[in-house]
Amino acid sequence: MSAIEEVAAAVRAIADRLPDQEIAIAVDALQDCHTVFAAVMEGSWAEEPALVSTWLASALHQLAEVTQLLAELRTRLNNLADNLAAPPAPANLAPAPPAPAPAPAPAAQRPFPVDREWGQRARARLPTRPNDKGPTLGIYVDEDGIEHPVRSGREEDGVDLALAKLMVEQGMVPAIMKNPGGATHVELKVAYRMRASNTQYAELAINNKIDREQYGCHELLPKVLLPGQTMVIHDTTGTHIYRGTPQP
């Protein structure tokens, strides 16, 4: 066996060791857990069970994506092994044509695409709010493609308190509103996390509609977001895009 054939065999061995079956078993087990948990908690809109249900659904979705990635990786590894094992093509003695000149770079930066399909899939994984009551739950994906479950209400790390302070100090709400309710809303908390981490783009899916009351999310999102930041929200009414605007 030649050295190239040994490399091809090693690549095939790597493809054969991919844990496809183990992941498939995990997906089935997690699906059972999610189904049983949803049945047990049906009709409940307490915050903790709803959040656990969101985490289960998010984990199930990400495991399913891993299954697809492993299948694609197996195909690519086997294709690489086939190419390595194939006999070399005869040398072409003719000089290679000159490479075409690279196309000029566009003058303006291409905007981030809005992934409405992701929004629909993410919203389908969120529990419904019985009679439009209970906490708002959501999933947001950052620039690195990492998903994060979120919910309305207070935060252990104090993000809601820091956001409330910002809203008052920056004049986004009247000074008399020491604890603005919007600071506990999912949309504004995600926007504040973007502001604090200088994240330029994020998409959020929620099981509620955007608050359009005075000093609500619709009014304050462009103020909490910094100029250049974009936040896409998929709610029960559709897809909405918010961009940070300069503040006086």
pLDDT per residue as tens digits for the range 54-70: 667 767 667 766 776 77
Q: What is the pLDDT along the chain (248 residues), one digit of tens a residue?
A: 677 777 878 877 887 888 876 776 787 787 778 677 766 665 555 556 666 766 677 676 677 667 767 777 778 887 887 887 777 656 555 556 666 655 544 433 334 567 888 889 999 999 888 888 889 999 999 888 889 999 999 998 899 999 999 999 999 999 898 889 999 999 999 999 999 999 999 999 999 999 999 999 999 999 999 999 999 999 999 999 999 998 87
Looking at residue 106, what is its pLDDT?
43
Looking at residue 170, what is its pLDDT?
92
Structure tokens belonging to residue 141: 């994906």
Q: Where are the alpha helices (DSSP H) in the chain?
A: 3-16, 20-40, 47-85, 116-124, 159-169, 186-197, 217-224
Q: Give 116-243's CATH code, choosing from 3.30.70, 3.40.140, 2.60.120, 3.90.930.
A: 3.40.140
Looking at residue 48, what is its pLDDT?
65
First to last CA, the chain: 73
Q: What values do phi and psi take at 152, rounded to 5?
A: -75, 160
The model carries a pTM of 0.59
Structure tokens belonging to residue 21: 């079956």
Structure tokens belonging to residue 177: 């509103």
Looking at residue 61, what is its pLDDT?
64
Looking at residue 108, what is its pLDDT?
36
Residue in 196, 195, 181 with CA at minimum distance from that of residue 225? 195
Q: Which residue has the tokens 């504040």?
A: 192
- Within 13 A of 150's CA, how many CA atoms are on the CB side? 30
Structure tokens belonging to residue 223: 């103020």
Residue in 65, 84, 89, 63 with CA at minimum distance from that of residue 13? 84
Question: What distance in Å separates the CA atoms of residue 128 and residue 126, rounded to the nearest whole number?
Answer: 6
Looking at residue 68, what is its pLDDT?
66
Looking at residue 95, what is its pLDDT?
59
Q: What values do phi and psi take at 140, rounded to 5?
A: -120, 150
Give domain limits for the chain.
3-85, 116-243
